Amino acid sequence: MAKTAVAFSLLLMLLSFLSVGGTLALKNEQKTWCVAKPSSDETTLKNNINYACSNVDCKMLQKGCSCFYPDNFINHASIAMNLYYQANGRNYWNCHFGGSGLIVLTDPSYGSCYYA
């Protein structure tokens, strides 16, 4: 009986984190962002940039724009992946990218580069 109550409580806690439709909804409607896993290889990051930027506007990654620097794949992939994630409703599956995406609770914006 006690095991059933604990399992039920854990299920309720899990369900409280996910709203209907799979959008990540945390207490007080905490905003979430999608970034690239630091352990992702360069090919994966390039593929993520290409995929995301074929579906959303990634102008902010162009040379001379606010998010070009640092000019590296992990930075560019994180920004592109987040643009895609935000544009598609912040559903956890929109940050999967073959297991190379992470949903974070801390705003990754820096300098004049603002994550949506």
Model confidence over 36-83: pLDDT tens digits? 999 999 999 999 999 999 999 999 999 999 999 999 999 999 999 999
DSSP summary character for residue 102: E
pLDDT digits (tens, 9 = 90+) for 39-52: 999 999 999 999 99
Domain span including residue 7: 2-104
Domain count, the chain: 1
With cut-offs at 50, 70 and 90, classify the pLDDT of residue 116. Answer: confident
| CATH for 62 | 1.20.58
**Has residue 109 been placed in a domain?**
no
Q: In the chain, what percentage of residues exceed pLDDT 70? A: 76
**Has residue 55 been placed in a domain?**
yes
Which pLDDT score is estimated for 27?
Answer: 52
Q: Are 41 and 110 in contact (CB under 8 A)?
A: no
